[in-house]
Chain A
Amino acid sequence: MKSAVLVFPGINRERDMARALKLVSGNDAAMVWHADTELPKGTDLVVVPGGFSYGDYLRCGAIAARAPVMDAVRKFAADGGLVLGVCNGFQILCESGLLPGVLMRNAGLKFICRDVHLRVERNDTPFTRGYQAGQVITVPVAHGEGNYEADEETLKRLEGEGRVLYRYCSPTGEVGEAHNINGAAASIAGIVSERGNVLGMMPHPENHVEDIMGSTDGRGLFAGLAEHLKKAA
């Protein structure tokens, strides 16, 4: 697995992400600066990490979506390359047109940092093959604007095409408003693009990858990707 982690000014979870990628795949990720116009040769996974790109003083992710490096990412995705966006990364992918919808302010209007339960909706994708379908995993969220919204038509398509991969749920997997921490439409925590090669999600699997730190529930996502890319190679 040869990953490239994008670094926009104001991104702050790039180290967490690089550490998780290294831990699971054994390979160092390349850190790619926002002003670069090309991805390193041989990149097979692009990761857009969390943070506050350019301060997020405009709409979250809006400026990053227009950074020079994003043209290369759009091309990479158009060629079928795997792209993972987490938190601010999800917001950036939506703003850059690689994923539909937007991330609004949390319904409670406050930043939320806590462990949440996610239901893995299917496991026949590169982003979920490390889990069982229906499995409930626990990973942290840390965001102020994670309330996923899209027009009705888009939501219908996402559901119909099985593109919702992760949903907020109870510890036993029930989905409902009581467990929908940020008010997202249909409790959506993570979705993929039409071709299934671009995933955006709000929670932080990269912060739950080590047994000695108390949880490895996030590991399946990275292990699944590594497995997928090994097979593909």
Chain B
Amino acid sequence: MTISNTPAITPELVASHGLKPDEYQRILELIGREPTLTELGIFSAMWNEHCSYKSSRIHLRGLPTKAPWVLQGPGENAGVIDIGDNQAVVFKMESHNHPSFIEPYQGATTGVGGILRDVFTMGARPIACLNALSFGAPEHPKTRRLVSGVVAGVGGYGNSFGVPTVGGQTRFHTRYDGNILVNAMAVGLADADKIFLAAASGVGMPIVYLGSKTGRDGIHGASMASAEFDDASEEKRPTVQVGDPFAEKLLLEACLEIMANDCVIAIQDMGAAGLTCSAVEMGAKGDLGVELDLDKVPTRETGMSAYEMMLSESQERMLMVLKPEKEQLAEQIFKKWGLDFAIVGYTTPTKRFVVKHGGQVMADLPIKELGDEAPLYDRPHIPSPKLPVIHAREINAPLSIADALEKLIGTPELCSKRWVWEQYDHVIGGNTVQRPGGDAAVVRVQDGPKGLALTVDVTPRYCEADPVEGGKQAVAEAYRNVTAVGGKLLAITDNLNFGNPERPEIMGQLVGCLKGISEACIALDSPIVSGNVSLYNETNGRGILPTPSIGGVGLLDDFTKSATLAFKAAGEAILLIGETKGWLGQSVYLRDVCGREEGAPPPVDLAAEKRNGDVVRGMIHAGTATAVHDVSDGGLLVALAEMAIAGGIGATLDAAPDATVPQAWWFGEDQARYVVTVPQQQLMTVLSKLKTIGVPCQQIGVTGGATLSIAGERAIEVKALATAHERWLPAYMNAAN
């Protein structure tokens, strides 16, 4: 065998592939010779942070991933859970942060496209998308353009592909000025006994390339996503791929059709690191070798080298191992959908990854080692320093309660995000029971009666202040949001966005958040079934707020019994469930009203979360609760205002209890709390029942009227609150830069 070795591999070339000298040494030892340029490219694609999880793997191992209802945990294209009746939910969340900062529209579209492929690769039809977007401060000169481009991109792809985008988060914070976050989550539905996996089986099986042609776009995309940014990063625009939702829609229909015709042995989408990563995974997982003939790969441009083809991240492509006897049928189906179909290689018994081009061997590498022997780092990490607990009595209220509410309800943090979600088709499919704007979205499963409760949550300022409590809180809030619509949280997907892991304090944030997430997942009985890690979210040495986005999937046995946050009728009792101490540290009130972003975040009592959640869910199922809302950012009064706005009904509220500091009572962010309304005739029964089982609960007011009226405070018109709530984002986006 001859392997041509031009150009020469220099230390500069190694460094430009993002490989450290010791990592290159590892390659030399592994293959016993100098790699070819193509091989160097393959190693850089497989061993970068994005694909190898080399800094996080050691810590991800400790996460809870199992439960009787988990059909597939992390390690495949997406996680799978069983919801009964042979129905399975397939879901995952993934980041597309770096590309979206460089080219917001295409970065966001390809983020959505990638996660949709992960889901339908497993045999599921996507039924919902969600996303979590973090932008820089509104006054930063780039923010408006980035918001506009990302939102248009998320919508542009999902709307055309034909999946409802039903929920998410949009936040602004100066720590994302140079490094925005675009986390996209997709949820699909499959038959539990027809889940397709990546592992190839059988020697001599045809490996088929499907979908769009390969071009030079996205070369080294995964390596870019594993590097820090600097001022020259925008020059990396050519490494951002271009999305084609039309091609993806065809790929979806064609894939589901050939799966239904029992043609598929193994399937893997070409995402990060394209052909390289997909082919290696299929072989390595099946204990087989793979031989590819690049002359057969459909290309969009002439003269592409082996190196370029192996590293291209052109979108809307799949790799499949077909049952040989079904080859013709599969080809017919793909031709019908107008998609490229080419046999580009075969499985071999050698456990080697061989790439040929123009009759020459361009790469010949041990396939298992490419993945298994990737560097693994136990990077030094130091825990974040504990911040002091801020006592409510130390905080002077600069505004009256009513004025503070009017201010908070219209802040970038708490204002309505309607401007965003109205650009997403959230009704296609005819199954959207609860649209964006509530606690969790509810999507009917086929013709019902089952429904899924879907949410994405994280409070980055808590994670920064105390990674362990912040990690817990992200899961706890997902649990509460699912509970507040009547769902039972079953499993989560996590998208861990952090700064440079080579800095011990950043690594400490990652380790801390994972510890908190683990504890919460165990306590709330919801394992992690899929996820993604995005590190090096830094620009010029300044890291983002630690942002472990948590995507929650819950089940409702009967979607018609789901609860919404809107007040339903006048004269109903308003109950606060859960304990209120008045925790102002890291609250939106402290930051946006008092101008102080400080202190320890609210602690999370997981046992209380579970107990209170079970009670609220029980009240929803029993039909006792007429409106339900979890209390989170902004605290109790913001939750009440949101309920009033949604229902167009006001409320008369008791004054803060004597023992409390009023601003802490109304705006504190104590966890494990819900506001629930119940009809007056059920009030006594509910109160006595909750007392018996030891769940803190008190009546705090009565619904009705056109204002929110707190005893001793100026009454606030619900209409004025609604206007303030809706005003900021469209006004901001319409303003000139």
Residues of A within 8 A of B (CB): 9-10, 12-13, 15-16, 19-20, 51-52, 54-57, 110-114, 140, 142, 144, 204, 206-207, 209-210, 212-214
Contacts and interface: CB of A to CB of B under 8 A. Distances in A.
Contact of A113 (B156, B161, B426): B426
A55 B430 contact: no
Interface stretch (B242-250, B378-386, B705-713): B242-250
Given A110-B152, A212-B560, A19 B430 contact: yes
A19 B245 CA distance: 24
Contacts of A144: 159
B341 interface: no
B298 interface: no
Nearest to B250: A9
B427 A12 contact: no
Interface residues of B, number: 30
A142 B160 contact: no
A209 B424 CA distance: 21
B69 interface: no
A201 to B, nearest CB: 16
B484 to A, nearest CB: 18
Nearest to A7: B253
B728 interface: no
A15 B244 contact: no
A20 B156 CA distance: 26
Interface string B228-250: 00000000000000001111011
B338 A9 contact: yes
B422 A213 contact: no
B429 A113 contact: no
A46 B29 CA distance: 67
Contact of A114 (B244, B338, B422): B422
Interface string B393-427: 00000000000000000000000000001111111
Given A12-B160, A15-B429, 15 more contacts: A9-B246, A10-B246, A12-B428, A15-B430, A16-B430, A20-B430, A51-B160, A51-B162, A55-B160, A111-B156, A111-B159, A111-B425, A140-B427, A142-B428, A212-B560
B162 A13 contact: yes
Nearest to A112: B422
21 contacts: A10-B160, A10-B246, A10-B249, A12-B160, A12-B161, A12-B428, A13-B162, A16-B429, A19-B430, A20-B430, A52-B245, A52-B249, A55-B245, A111-B152, A111-B425, A113-B422, A113-B423, A113-B426, A144-B159, A213-B430, A214-B433
B423 A112 contact: yes
Contacts of B79: none
Contacts of B247: 55
Given A212-B448, A213-B433, A113 B160 contact: no
B427 A204 contact: yes
B337 interface: yes
Contacts of B337: 9
B444 interface: yes
A207 B426 CA distance: 11
A113 B425 contact: yes
Given A9-B250, A10-B249, A55 B244 contact: yes
B249 A9 contact: yes
A56 B160 contact: yes
Nearest to A206: B430
Interface in B328-371: 337-338
Interface in B562-580: none
B495 to A, nearest CB: 25
* Chain A contact residues: helix, strand, loop or mixed: mixed
A54 B427 contact: no
A54 B161 CA distance: 11
Contacts of A9: 246, 249-250, 337-338
Interface in B240-287: 244-247, 249-250
B155 interface: yes
Contacts of B429: 15-16
Interface in B156-185: 156, 159-162
Contacts of A110: 152, 423
A142 B159 contact: yes
A20 B386 CA distance: 57
A34 to B, nearest CB: 10
A16 B428 contact: yes
Nearest to A12: B162
B428 A57 contact: no
Contacts of B245: 52, 55
Nearest to A113: B425
Contacts of A52: 159-160, 162, 245-246, 249
Contacts of B159: 52, 111, 113, 142, 144
A72 B279 CA distance: 45
A207 B427 contact: yes
A12 B427 CA distance: 12
Contacts of B156: 111
A9 B187 CA distance: 23
Contacts of A212: 448, 560
Contacts of B422: 112-114
Contacts of B430: 15-16, 19-20, 206-207, 209-210, 213
Contacts of B433: 213-214
Best-surrounded residue of B250, B421, B428 (most CB of chain A within 10 A):
B428
A183 to B, nearest CB: 16
B647 to A, nearest CB: 15
B479 to A, nearest CB: 26
Nearest to B252: A12
Contacts of B338: 9
A214 B431 CA distance: 11
A210 B430 CA distance: 9
Contacts of B444: 213
A207 B431 CA distance: 9
A110 B420 CA distance: 10
A207 B425 CA distance: 12
Contacts of B152: 110-111
A110 B338 CA distance: 30
Contacts of A111: 152, 155-156, 159, 423-425
A33 B41 CA distance: 43
A206 B427 CA distance: 11
B283 to A, nearest CB: 32
